[in-house]
Structure 1
Amino acid sequence: MQRGKGCGSLSNRGSTCDAVHTGSIFAEYDVMLLCHFIIFDKELGMKNSSSMAVSEMQSCIDACAQCHQICLKMAMTHCLKMGGKHVEPDHFRLMVNCAEICQTSANFQLSGSAFSARLCAVCADICQACADSCRELDGMEECVQACDACASSCRSMAA
């Protein structure tokens, strides 16, 4: 698949995907799911087929994937190593919940789910709560940054 210009995936009706894939951390399979969603959307004449909406969705998927990775990694490595407040049940549970909702939100967007916007709204709330919790602890700047970015992107998708 070419990167940096419209991917050109083709449906059986002759429609093409005009999304620009910039190297998301998702596997090619997930990118292909997005292409099929775009093509399906285009054939039905729905508003999400615009380049701006596709770009915004891909940015949100990328932010969700990044937040998922960072929250899970930080919870399982940094927080467990630090102990104390880093592993208090409310904080640790929130980090794991944040990682899970981010992964789920990305998957819903990739599948073209009609529930994506509502899930993005919930994802934004959880990411914001996780960022706020992480701000209170040492060494959690990477998690705060990822959660803030994901919350912002998901709020835009939910609007």
Structure 2
Amino acid sequence: MTQPGTMPAMTKEMQDCVDACMTCHSVCEETMSSVMQLGGQAQMQVMRALMDCAETTRVCADMMMRRSPLSPEMCAMCAKACEMCAEACLSVPDDPQMTRCAEACRRCAATCRAMAGATM
């Protein structure tokens, strides 16, 4: 039991999720430059997914680190944004950066889904 005014310790699962969110955020940011170089109308959908995922993962990690009571809901939304981004990235075939991004998004989605079901 924690003392009044102190936050509970971050569990390994929470730390793993924060780490996955921050990794995913970084990879999405890096991938945006690749998409800008590709151009084309279809890439606008990929860019939107990357932007949504990058922002959602950053906010999700921030909320978990400060033990926000809204973290479970944010984790659920983050998992959804990550899955959408992974699908968008995989729509660009044979691109190693897109594949790397999709993998980071899927890993993050899995940890966020687990945290969304957990009580924080």
Pick from 19, 22, 38: which aligns with 1:65?
Answer: 22
Q: Which residue of 2 aligns with 1:102?
A: 57
Which runs of structure 2 are paired with 1:9-20 in the superposition (5 Å)?
none
| Structure 2 gap segments, 5+ residues each | none
Report the TM-score, using the length of structure 1 for normalisation.
Answer: 0.65
Pick from 80, 103, 109: which aligns with 1:145?
Answer: 103
Give deviations 1:82-136, integer Å, cap 9, x for gaps: 2225632x22111101000000000000111000010000000010011011111
Larger radius of gyration: 1
Q: Quick one: percent identity of the two aligned structures?
A: 33
Aligned residues: 112
- SS for the counterpart of 1:68 is helix
Give deviations 1:32-55, integer Å, cap 9, x for gaps: xxxxxxxxx7325xxx64xxx610
Pick from 109, 133, 143: which aligns with 2:88?
Answer: 133
Looking at structure 1, the residues matched to 104 and 42 of structure 2 have their Cα atoms a distance apart, in angstroms, of 17
AA of the residue aligned to 1:71 = C
| Structure 1 gap segments, 5+ residues each | 1-40
2:35–2:46 CA contact under 8 A, matched in 1: no
1:85–1:137 CA contact under 8 A, matched in 2: no
Q: Which residue of 2 aligns with 1:30?
A: none
